[in-house]
């Protein structure tokens, strides 16, 4: 007979862990990466709409530092807030979750590696930084440098 504190395990027996990589740590890591990806997506859509950080913050009625934390993935964006941001930027909420999966997978296959969410995030960060370079000569130099790094490996 089972007492109220027992659930078919003996008193000192611990629950079995999955060996398939779906433990709490993996889920938390994926969750943090998704938070950062959504934040990057907010930033890209905001810049695409030619809106400043302060402009978005004012429309949301929050401090610009909070928007900055959303964009960097430091703070999570709640569903309601994400809907507000989508309305302000005049885009569907789903666009925050869209990633170029097909292209990422194609590029990863061409490079002989598996697609990695962290690489996708780093790729977005690289793209945002690259697009901030106004001088065409500096952009060409940056591209040449990145290409030289990838050829060296």
Buried b (16+ CB within 10 A) or exposed e, 111-125: eeeeeebeebbebbe
* Residue-averaged pLDDT of the chain: 76
Task: Render pLDDT for 5-57 as a digit per residue (tens, 0 to 9).
Answer: 444 444 444 444 444 455 667 777 777 778 888 888 899 889 888 999 999 99
Q: Rounded to the nearest 10 degrees, what angle do helices 53-60 and 64-72 cross at?
A: 110
CATH tag for 26-96 (out of 1.20.810.10, 1.10.150.530, 3.60.9.10, 1.10.260.40): 1.10.260.40
The mean per-residue pLDDT over the stretch 88-117 comes to 67
Give the residue range(s) of CATH 1.10.260.40 domains in the chain.
26-96
């Amino acid at each position: 007979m089972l007492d109220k504190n027992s659930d078919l395990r003996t008193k000192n027996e611990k629950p079995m862990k999955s060996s398939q990589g779906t433990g709490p740590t993996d889920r938390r890591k994926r969750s943090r990466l998704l938070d950062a990806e959504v934040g990057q997506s907010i930033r890209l859509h905001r810049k695409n709409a030619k809106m400043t950080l302060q402009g978005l913050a004012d429309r949301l009625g929050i401090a610009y530092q909070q928007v900055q934390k959303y964009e960097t993935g430091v703070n999570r964006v709640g569903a309601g807030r994400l809907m507000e941001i989508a309305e302000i930027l005049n885009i569907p909420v789903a666009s925050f979750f869209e990633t170029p999966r097909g292209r990422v997978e194609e590029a990863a296959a061409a490079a002989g590696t598996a697609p990695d969410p962290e690489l996708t995030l780093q790729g977005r960060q690289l793209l945002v930084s690259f697009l901030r370079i106004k001088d065409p000569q500096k952009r060409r130099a940056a591209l040449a440098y990145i290409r030289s790094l990838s050829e060296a490996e």
